[in-house]
Amino acid sequence: MRVAAIDCGTNSIRLLVADVDDDGLRDLAREMRVVRLGQGVDATGSFASEAIDRTEAALLEYVDIITELGGVDAVRMVATSATRDADNRDLFFDMTRRTLASVADGAVAEVISGDEEALLSFAGAVGDLDPDEGPFLVVDLGGGSTELVLGDADGVRAAFSADIGCVRLTERCLPSDPPTEAERRAGQAFTSERLRPAFDAVPVKDARTWVGVAGTMTTLSAVAQNLPAYDPDAIHLSRIPFTDLRDVCDRLLGMTRADRAVLGPMHPGRVDVIGGGSLVAATLAEHIGAEAGIDTLVVSEHDILDGIALSVAGR
């Protein structure tokens, strides 16, 4: 079965086209565009028209890719935090229905709950890991929300979606370039406040391995490894000791946007929000280290996108 999975988050929109068989997924195309769909949503509660236009342009590119590959048997497009929050999301739905019509008649983006987002992220993240390293704490650090999921080979034990992410935190607390010390303190307090319910709901102390997914985590790995360019093979299943993680988070948070922009593996669309993502990641590391005694972050290139593809195929 050939499927297309599309994940539309607060910061980026991504595509996976894959063949699915008894052995799992075989990638045919994996793409990412930073469109900042959630631009201003935290402050206004609405999508900006230019953000919808950027998303439409990327989605049209994805339709061309699917067509060039000869089409697919099924398409599933999910939208997450920003779309849950936007009061004019019908404009977004109309756009996706119109744009996807040539490859999947009647398909439209579906807004999934934070709980389902967490389950899909877990399914995608742990497939390449040794089950004996579980229980796993999978953390999907996105633009508008952060999902914490605890589970093992038998399935998910607990999950929570917190309203904190790199875009939301940057827009709310970190306007300066670089952020001032006062802004960093305010960002730390806001992050801790938003993560507290997640730590209450998910027994982090039971985890043996922390797995980080999505663009902030993969970028932190790339910078920690001093990669000259973004290299998915070097990033997938990389292991970052907390001492290195804290160092790179502090360094990125203290840099100007111009300094971040010249880093080889830094995507231009992450330059202005990676500081906020770094602050969230550092806060997570502090709590996870204290609660679970974990001292290393495992970074996976496989995440909710893989979980969506598997769900299309009924896996």
- pLDDT tens across the length of the chain (315 residues): 899 999 998 888 999 999 988 778 899 999 999 898 888 887 888 888 999 999 999 999 999 999 999 999 999 999 876 677 788 888 888 999 999 998 887 778 888 887 888 888 888 898 889 999 999 999 999 888 899 999 998 889 999 999 999 999 999 999 999 999 999 999 999 999 999 999 999 999 999 999 999 999 999 999 999 999 999 999 999 999 999 999 999 999 999 999 999 999 999 989 999 999 999 999 999 999 999 999 999 999 988 899 999 888 776
Cα distance between residue 187 and residue 173, in whole Å = 5
Query: Is residue 257 included in any domain, yes or no?
Result: yes
65 and 136 in a single domain? The answer is no
Mention every residue, 6+ apart, whose C-beta is less than 8 A from residue 143.
Answer: 9, 10, 11, 12, 36, 38, 81, 82, 165, 166, 167, 168, 273
22 and 159 in a single domain? The answer is no
| CATH code of 38's domain | 3.30.420.40
249 and 204 in a single domain? The answer is yes
- Alpha-helix residue ranges (DSSP H) falling in 126-180: 166-173
Query: Is residue 273 included in any domain, yes or no?
Result: yes
Tokens coding 233: 């093979």
C-beta of residue 25 within 8 angstroms of C-beta of residue 306 = yes
76 and 129 in a single domain? The answer is no
259 and 145 in a single domain? The answer is yes
| CATH code of 141's domain | 3.30.420.150
Query: Is residue 304 included in any domain, yes or no?
Result: no
Query: Is residue 190 included in any domain, yes or no?
Result: yes
257 and 152 in a single domain? The answer is yes
Query: Is residue 312 included in any domain, yes or no?
Result: no
Supply φ then ψ for residue 15, to 5 degrees.
-130, 135
Tokens coding 250: 């502090």
Query: Is residue 314 included in any domain, yes or no?
Result: no
148 and 55 in a single domain? The answer is no
260 and 192 in a single domain? The answer is yes
134 and 190 in a single domain? The answer is yes
Tokens coding 245: 């993680």
153 and 179 in a single domain? The answer is yes
User: What is the pLDDT at residue 81?
Assistant: 63
User: What is the pLDDT at residue 82?
Assistant: 67
Query: Is residue 94 included in any domain, yes or no?
Result: yes
Query: Is residue 213 included in any domain, yes or no?
Result: yes
Q: Determine the structural domain holding residue 16 and report its residue range.
A: 2-111
145 and 239 in a single domain? The answer is yes
156 and 273 in a single domain? The answer is yes
Q: How many domains does the chain have?
A: 2
